[in-house]
């Protein structure tokens, strides 16, 4: 059998010839269209209770996450377009504030302003900070979201920056 590393670290053996691609790993959050129901069931039943709760929590917010991804992808934010990168930052800042995070905008004269979002949890046993970092710019020329707006076909999303890295910003 082939082994895939799950997002939480432990290894999981998958049955041979189940339709999954064996040339690259997949994880519990991103299904390859050719993965079979057997593979998905093997991965999903091996979750801890905490992992299952996280996946359920994310599932409850799927529509909201897709809406945020659509807004980010359809926001023109080329690498050398500071105003556009700042607009994408404002999209994230509004989302974070609406969801209870405190947001600070750290100005940058040349590149996009940094967006710092904090979620305080005074009741947590571990008070060490966790840093999630990503970029909002894309390599595409001005007007690309107009030419190729966000869309979903089947189980895949398309548009400028959808995979690098705007979907990553949504999941953060």
What is the helix (H) or strand (E) element at residue 91, kind and residue range? Answer: helix 82-98
Reported as a pLDDT band with limits 50, 70 and 90, residue 40 is: low
Q: State whether the Cα torsion 122-128-132-133 is positive or negative.
A: positive
Reported as a pLDDT band with limits 50, 70 and 90, residue 43 is: low
Higher pLDDT, 22 or 127: 127
pTM, full prediction:
0.72
DSSP code at position 115: E
Tell me: pLDDT of 92 over 50: yes
Angstrom distance (rounded) from CA 89 to CA 2: 41
Q: What is the mean pLDDT of residues 66-80?
A: 97
Contact call for residues 72 and 138 (beta carbons, < 8 A)? no
Pairing of strands 151-153, 156-158: antiparallel
The mean predicted confidence, pLDDT, of the chain is 80
pLDDT in tens, 117-168: 999 888 989 888 888 899 999 999 999 999 999 999 999 999 999 999 999 9
CA distances from 158 to 121, 123, 149, 162 (A): 35, 40, 8, 6
């Amino acid at each position: 059998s082939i082994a895939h590393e799950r997002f939480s670290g432990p290894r999981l053996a998958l049955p041979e010839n189940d339709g999954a691609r064996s040339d690259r790993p997949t994880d519990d959050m991103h299904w390859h269209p050719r993965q079979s129901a057997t593979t998905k069931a093997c991965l999903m039943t091996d979750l801890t209770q905490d992992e299952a709760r996280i996946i359920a929590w994310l599932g409850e917010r799927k529509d909201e996450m897709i809406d945020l991804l659509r807004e980010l992808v359809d926001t023109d934010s080329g690498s050398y377009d500071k105003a556009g990168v700042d607009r994408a930052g404002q999209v994230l800042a509004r989302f974070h504030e609406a969801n209870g995070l405190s947001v600070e905008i750290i100005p940058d004269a040349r590149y996009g302003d940094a967006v710092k979002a904090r979620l305080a949890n005074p009741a947590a046993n571990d008070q060490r900070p966790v840093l999630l970092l990503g970029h909002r710019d894309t390599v595409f020329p001005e007007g690309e979201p107009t030419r190729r707006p966000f869309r979903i076909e089947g189980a895949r999303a398309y548009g400028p920056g959808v995979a690098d890295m705007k979907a990553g910003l949504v999941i953060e």
